[in-house]
Amino acid sequence: MTLRTVMLALGGLVLVPLAGGLLAGLDRMLSARLQSRLGPPLFQPFYDVGKLWSKVIAPASQWQGLFVRWALVASLASAVLLAAGADLLLCFFVQAASASFVALGAFCGNSPYGKLGAQRELFQLLAYEPVLLVGILCLAKAAGGFDAAGIMAAHGPLLFRLPLVAPGLIFALLVKLRKSPFDLAASHHMHQELVRGVYTDYAGRDFALLELAHWTDVGVTLCICSLVWATGPLAMVATGLAFLLAVVLIDNVTARLTWRAMLGRAAPLALALAAANLVWLYLE
């Protein structure tokens, strides 16, 4: 392991969560402008997490607090792996473990809303994880390897060879960012009938740690999406912001679907498009 790899890994450990928090603030600002509202400041998510950290509230159970910390560790590990240019498949499975720990922690709570939100969280995992996995397989096939560093070093943008993967990546982002029409397990919107869904039983410092894990997951997922145009750091940032803008626009013009519609229609369509792109790559 070279010094450069260690520095990249440490940079990912610090910068990816910070970038996720800034993206959360930018998300709120864009949504407010689209709805003709003033909206909160860019750094509002950091203020919210600081306020949560100041509240010392005992978790609903001992296991719940443990699962929160495992979720955060898994999220940060996925960021470190991606920043260090490691295998994208390893990064994918580590991040999937983080989402699973959030759902397991919700099952340990006392609220029926939390348990129902945890069930929906697992349904969402079942919906978007195969799509994201096939998207990573397409990236690896187009670039000639699974290493993130190798994909970033590919000659020219990969998007022209992955036109059918982009809708699947947007679908995965909509679920990861908990946006309509796939804000089934948790949402800050008023139309969420489950209060905060999977987050209902979380409070205080545990909730702050979960927010940090969520920021990291969003940053990692956007980094994976930006690999379709990895011709340089600025190009990757611009690509990630373009994906974020698309997700915010979809969120503000669509209504929430049921989990049956997500699993029965949206997820199969996104998976079919990504699989068709993968077959095309193997046949070209």
pLDDT at 192: 55
Asked whether 83 and 56 are in contact (CB, 8 A), the reply is no
pLDDT at 179: 87
Per-residue pLDDT of the chain (284 residues; tens, 9 = 90+): 677 788 888 888 999 999 999 999 999 999 889 888 888 899 999 999 999 898 877 776 778 888 999 999 999 999 999 998 888 999 999 999 998 998 898 888 787 888 888 888 898 999 999 999 999 999 999 988 888 888 888 778 899 999 999 999 999 999 988 888 888 767 665 555 556 677 888 888 888 999 999 999 999 999 999 999 988 889 999 999 999 999 999 988 888 888 888 888 899 999 999 999 999 999 87
* Angle formed at CA 94 by CA 184 and CA 15, multiple of 5 degrees: 90
Q: How far is CA 136 from CA 82, 88, 148, 223, 252, in A?
A: 13, 7, 10, 12, 28
Tokens 């229609």 belong to which residue? 265
pLDDT at 155: 76
In angstroms, the CA 100 to CA 110 distance is 18
Phi, psi of 87 (to 5 degrees): -65, 130
Domain count within the chain: 1
In angstroms, the CA 218 to CA 252 distance is 19
pLDDT at 144: 86
Phi, psi of 147 (to 5 degrees): -65, 130
Asked whether 54 and 195 are in contact (CB, 8 A), the reply is no
* Angle formed at CA 187 by CA 183 and CA 192, multiple of 5 degrees: 85
Asked whether 12 and 79 are in contact (CB, 8 A), the reply is yes
Q: Which domain holds residue 70?
A: 3-283
Sign of the alpha-carbon dihedral angle for 68, 119, 110, 193: positive
Structure tokens that stand for 44 in this block: 């509002």
